[in-house]
Amino acid sequence: MLSKIDIQKFNTLIEISNLINSNYLDIHSLLTEIIDSATRLCEGEASSLLLTDQENQELYFEIALGAKGAEVRQFTLKVGEGIAGWVVKHNKSIIVNDVENDRRYLNTISQQIDYPCKTMMAVPMRIKDNCIGVIELLNKKSDKYFVQEDLDWLEIFANQAAIALINARSIEQARNEIQLLQDQLKIDQGYHTLVAKSQVIMDKIEIIDRVAKTDSSVLILGESGVGKEIFAEQIHIRSARRDKPFVRVNCAALPEGLLESELFGHVKGAFTNAVNNRRGRFEMADGGTIFLDEIGDLPLALQAKLLRVIQQRTFEKLGSDTSITVNVRILAATNKDIEALVGRGEFRTDLYYRLNVLPIYIPPLRQRTEDIPELAGFFLKKCMRETKKQFEGFSRKAMESMLAYSWPGNVRELENCVERACVIGKTKWIEEEDLFLKPNIQPSIHDEGDRSLKTAINSFKAHYIQKALDENKWNQTETARVLDIQRTYLSRLIKELEITNPKE
Ligand SMILES: Nc1ncnc2c1ncn2[C@@H]1O[C@H](COP(=O)(O)OP(=O)(O)OP(=O)(O)O)[C@@H](O)[C@H]1O
Ligand SMILES: [Mg+2]
């Protein structure tokens, strides 16, 4: 065991324990921090953390630090192959101070990246005796050899890394299961899952959270397929009316007479086919919420009736003089330019003002590309469950083409596109060809939306950093060096600007 306690190493160990306990860093940054410290303290020149992929018995480089780190990350090893593979196979630590002459040593990697390795030590990352990965340090500085004390310290750090990793995996698994159950519960009730990543949509969610608590009417605006109905559902689910009915009516789907009966009901004999009394949607929604989709298509006569419901909460069924009073919250949506309809006299000004108390505009997908990877991943998982097919995800090219595409049909188009790709895809990854994206019709620079300088600068920053990360295979230490900033600052920017690794 350790002969005397080295105070610097001891303090680092305390710092690492605190970090693991703090939840401040994501798992990749945390592991990087751990092996970075281990490398420094044991005076290694380079280091890697390899994880075991149980399925194909391979080791892949989760982290590789040092001059050739970025290049090393492209390689994989078979269990049993090379010194790291030996460590996993035998679940034992090892010091090799004459690497060139060790027959276990696999010199293909070091030859390909042109990085000679002289001394090395490697330790298993264990969870209850099970080896889940390896940490290896290369080339002790100043031409020295690694000694037993270095190995003891590396084992301590490897234990910390293993605990951190297993914690993160358990949390991730629990989160996924909870999300799945919550989704299933909502789907069983006929609701959809709202997926959101971009700041604009996060801001909208904050607004609807506040709006949900009131009984005001809400008008949801935005192009076709942006998710207006999903937002209406969310307002209902987040309101005190959530256990009462959420009733949907598409005002464009029925001719005027039928729509009136649909909305307000009728009594027997009200018209030729009215053989029975019928409750309308407003009555069904009593205590809950009614969602009037395509409100711009509501005929003028019904607009007057709707205005009265909003003002007095009363109406009469078709063919009846008796007033019915309901307690219904009204949400409406349209993809039409409703102000233009008002201007042309096709939509009542007074109704417009009553509905427009709280307008919510959902921006088109091309103005919030950060949502694309998240949504695409969500739809792919959903489709994989339904079709029982398995994909690793989207290839880099596929993701790039989705990010560059203008999505005139918005989220609905993305959903259809991913579904189709999932059905026809034949390889491990969804490829660009599986998506069948049409060339962009128009550039989107004339779109309205958030034009503030801050948003523009953040968007530039996010793109710039993303590019640098991509170029450095998402090695944050390398990227930080290239960008000439501290790695901790880079981690923070990645979080704040919500930059995601398209391969993850
Ligand atoms: N943020 C989102 N997260 C998950 N799914 C979404 C999201 N936004 C939209 N969708 C999905 O995209 C499809 C279109 O959404 P929705 O019907 O809400 O759009 P819309 O704005 O009402 O379109 P339209 O104007 O054509 O009626 C739906 O299947 C919906 O579930
Ligand atoms: Mg809709």
> What are the tens digits of pLDDT across the range 447-462?
455 667 777 788 888 8
Asked if CATH classification 3.40.50.720 holds for the domain at 199-362, the reply, yes or no, is no
At 442 the pLDDT is 41
Query: For a substitution probing ligand 1, which of 411, 418, 419 has the most ligand atoms within 8 Å of its CB?
Result: 411
Instruction: State the greatest distance between any 2 C-alpha atoms of the chain, in Å, as a whole number.
Output: 100
CB 49 within 8 A of CB 133: yes
The total of other beta-carbon atoms located within 10 Å of residue 427's CB is 11
Question: Average pLDDT for residues 71-81, to the nearest whole number?
Answer: 90
**Whether pLDDT at 185 is above 80:** no
* pLDDT higher than 90, residue 111: no
pTM confidence score: 0.59
Per-residue confidence (pLDDT) for residue 169, from 0 to 100: 86
108-122, 441-455, 469-483, 488-502: lowest mean pLDDT where?
441-455
Residue with tokens 């040593």: 105
Cβ neighbours of residue 134 closer than 8 Å, sequence gap 6 or more: 48, 49, 50, 59, 84, 87, 88, 122, 123, 124, 125
Higher pLDDT, 253 or 274: 253
- Which residues in the chain are classed under CATH 3.40.50.300? 199-362
CB 382 less than 6 A from any atom of ligand 1: no
In the predicted structure, residue 446 carries a pLDDT above the cut 70: no
Residue 16's pLDDT is what? Answer: 84
Question: If you take atom 9 of ligand 1, which residue's CA is the nearest one?
Answer: 227
**How many whole angstroms separate alpha carbon 274 and alpha carbon 290?**
24
Atom of ligand 1 nearest to the CA of 226: 21
Handedness of CA 145, 150, 152, 158 (dihedral sign): negative
194 Cβ closer than 6 Å to some ligand 1 atom: yes
Side-chain half-sphere exposure of 256, counting CA atoms within 13 A: 7
Q: Are 184 and 155 in contact (CB under 8 A)?
A: no
pLDDT at 441 over 60: no
199, 201, 226, 382: which to mutate for ligand 1, most atoms within 8 A of CB?
A: 226
The predicted pLDDT at position 440 comes to: 64
pLDDT given for residue 498 in this prediction: 81
Which CATH number, 1.10.3720.10, 3.40.50.2000, 3.30.450.40, 2.60.40.3080, labels domain 7-173?
Answer: 3.30.450.40
Residue 428: per-residue pLDDT: 92
Q: How many CB atoms lie within 10 A of CB 163?
A: 15
Would you say the CB of residue 186 lies under 6 angstroms from ligand 1? Answer: no
- pLDDT-wise least confident of 87-96, 273-282, 304-313, 481-490: 273-282
DSSP state string for 206-220: HHHHHHHTS---EEE
**Best substitution site from 224, 230, 292, 383 to test ligand 1's pocket, by max atoms within 8 Å of Cβ?**
230
H or E segment to which residue 417 belongs: helix 410-424
Ligand 1 atom with the shortest distance to the CA of 414: 12
Buried b (16+ CB within 10 A) or exposed e, 86-124: bbbbeeebbbbeebeebebbbeebbeebebebebbbbbb
How many Å separate Cα 332 from the centre of its chain?
28
When pLDDT is cut at 50, 70 and 90, the band that residue 2 belongs to is low
CA atoms of 83 and 281, how far apart (whole Å): 71
Distances (CA, A) of 482 to 256, 458, 467: 64, 19, 11
Burial readout 294-319 (b: 16 or more C-beta within 10 A, e: otherwise): bbbbbeeebbebbbebeeeeebebbe
Least confident of 188-192, 255-259, 303-307, 417-421: 188-192
Give every strand in the sheet of 218-221, ordered side by side: 246-250, 289-293, 329-334, 218-221, 358-361
Q: Which residues, listed in sequence order, are joined to residue 323 by a DSSP beta bridge?
A: 316
Q: Is 66 in the pocket of ligand 1 (CB under 6 A)?
A: no
Q: What is the mean pLDDT of residues 157-184?
A: 85
Whether residue 335 has its Cβ less than 6 Å from ligand 1: yes
Q: Is the pLDDT of residue 435 over 90?
A: yes
Report the pLDDT averaged over residues 219-237: 95
Share of the chain above pLDDT 70, in %: 96
Mean pLDDT of 269-273: 75
pLDDT(56) > 60: yes
Average pLDDT over residues 46-55: 91
Q: Which two tokens stand for residue 216?
A: 């005001």
Instruction: For CATH 3.30.450.40, list the domain ranges present in the chain.
Output: 7-173
CB contact at 8 A, 302 and 314: no
Mean pLDDT of 413-430: 95
- Between the CA of 337 and the centroid of ligand 2 the distance, in Å, is 15
Interval between CA 347 and ligand 2 midpoint (Å): 19
Considering the chain, what is the average pLDDT of its residues? 89
Residue nearest (by alpha carbon) to ligand 1 atom 15: 227
Look at ligand 1, atom 7, and give the residue with the nearest C-alpha. 227
Ligand 2: distance of its center to the CA of 196 in Å?
A: 18
C-alpha dihedral, 400 to 405 to 406 to 407, nearest 10°: -100
Convert the pLDDT of each residue in 336-369 to its tens digit. Answer: 999 999 999 999 999 999 999 889 999 999 999 9
CA distance 409 to 335: 12
205 is written with which tokens? 């969610």
CA of residue 229 to ligand 2 center, whole Å: 5
Q: What confidence tier does 1 reach under pLDDT thresholds 50, 70, 90? A: low
Domain with CATH 1.10.8.60 in the chain: 366-496
Region of residue 176 (left: phi > 0; alpha: psi -120 to 50; beta: else): alpha
Q: Cα(341) to centroid of ligand 2, in Å?
A: 19
pLDDT of 443 strictly over 50: no
Q: Which CATH topology does 366-496 take?
A: Helicase, Ruva Protein; domain 3 (1.10.8)
Q: What pLDDT is stored for residue 449 in this prediction?
A: 56
User: Which pLDDT belongs to residue 152?
Assistant: 93
